[in-house]
């Protein structure tokens, strides 16, 4: 198996992109879960679907068009949530279904990219191109870096928003930051596990990290460890068993989550 990685460039690319992207998803995921914002990943993935369809229709790199559309969608969700006084996940539900609607219409009207779209829906990390790998790694580093820079302030407002505001934390600016970063990670994660499973990358490693954590730091580190292990184990298992990489990575993450969950309940 190690031989295979050393040997095949496509495996190396998948592994490199996967490790960086999963890391960004895990770090951000811990904040999203504790903000009770887990559904935003799911909603934004559908918006990203529209973005991919736009890219394929007009001939842009789908990763870029999805990035633009998702970030716009994320800001739209935030604005709609604030201004219309909508309850809970209403804004997310609206944007996610409209995203799907636009994607479906574009896909059927232009009618010639159903195979490509399939890859975006279910993930096709083994087919990731060198340019996409570079872009993904750069964006993942940007996400992790921005979270690290604002770590304590984000933690403060996640734990106690009002006290954070009084302490001078710019909570609305940081809301926007988290939302935009969620959009970026969703698009990145889409490259690995596909639109239909990308929420798993945000939620499962984070949930696993939260199982046994006695501190926030350990929750984040645990989530990262689970994310990285799932990518490595998932990719190798997929290669050996000739399974689709996306589903295998998600299952590996779920398995690790399950183990930690059971350990916590017994210990």
Partner 1 sequence: MAYPPADGAAGNRPALVRVEGVSFSFGFRRVLEDVSLSIDEGDFLALLGPNGSGKTTLVKVILNLLTPERGRVFLWGRQAAEFLEWERIGYVPQKATHFDPAFPASAREVVAMALRSTRAVARLSRRKQEEAIRRALELVGMDEHRDRPIGRLSGGQQQRVFIARAIVTDPGLLFLDEPTAGVDAETQERFYDLLGRLNTAQGITIVLVTHDIGIVNKHVSRVACLNQKLIYHGRHEDFCRSGVDEMLAGGQHLVSHRH
**Which parts of this chain interact with partner 1 (CB under 8 A)?**
34, 150-153, 155-156, 159-160, 162-169, 210, 213-219
Pick 2 or 166: Cβ nearer partner 1: 166
> Three-state SS for 212?
coil
**Shortest distance, CB of residue 19 to partner 1, whole angstroms?**
24
Q: Closest Cα to residue 253, out of 227, 219, 224, 225?
A: 227
Rounded to the nearest whole angstrom, what is the least distance from the CB of residue 181 to partner 1 in the complex? 18
Residue closer to partner 1 by CB (options 79, 264) is 264
CB of 171: closest distance to partner 1 in angstroms? Answer: 10
Q: Which is nearer to partner 1, 154 or 198 (CB)?
A: 154
Q: How near is the Cβ of 207 to partner 1 at its closest, in Å?
A: 12
Buried b / exposed e over 128-155, threshold 16 CB at 10 Å, is beeebbebbbebbeebbebbeebeebbb
Q: How far apart are CA 113 and CA 116, in angstroms?
A: 5
Rounded CA-CA distance 33/204 in Å is 10
CB of 119 to partner 1, least distance (A): 37
Of residues 31 and 120, the one with the C-beta less far from partner 1: 31
Place of tokens 């992790």: 144
> H helices then E strands: how many in the chain?
13, 0
User: 83 or 215, CB closer to partner 1?
Assistant: 215
């Amino acid at each position: 198996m190690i031989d295979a990685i050393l040997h095949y460039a496509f495996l190396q690319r998948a592994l490199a992109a996967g490790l960086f992207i999963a890391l960004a998803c895990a770090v951000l995921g811990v904040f999203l879960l504790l903000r009770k914002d887990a559904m935003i990943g799911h909603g934004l993935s559908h918006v990203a679907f529209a973005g991919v369809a736009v890219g394929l229709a007009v001939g842009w790199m789908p990763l870029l068009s999805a990035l633009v559309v998702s970030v716009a969608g994320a800001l739209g969700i935030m604005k709609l949530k604030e201004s219309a006084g909508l309850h809970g996940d209403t804004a997310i539900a609206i944007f996610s279904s409209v995203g799907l609607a636009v994607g479906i219409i574009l896909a059927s009207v232009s009618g010639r990219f159903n195979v490509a779209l399939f890859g975006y829906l279910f993930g096709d990390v083994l087919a990731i191109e060198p340019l996409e790998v570079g872009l993904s790694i750069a964006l993942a580093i940007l996400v992790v870096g921005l979270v690290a820079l604002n770590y304590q302030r984000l933690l403060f407002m996640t734990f106690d928003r009002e006290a954070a505001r009084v302490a001078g934390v710019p909570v609305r600016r940081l809301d926007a930051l988290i939302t935009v970063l969620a959009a970026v990670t969703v698009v990145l994660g889409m490259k690995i596990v596909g639109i239909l499973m990308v929420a798993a990358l945000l939620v499962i490693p984070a949930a696993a990290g939260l199982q046994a954590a006695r501190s926030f730091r350990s929750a984040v580190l645990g989530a990262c460890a689970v994310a990285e292990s799932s990518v490595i184990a998932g990719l190798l298992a997929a290669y050996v068993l000739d399974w689709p990489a996306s589903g295998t990575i998600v299952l590996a993450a779920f398995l690790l989550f399950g183990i930690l969950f059971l350990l916590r309940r017994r210990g």
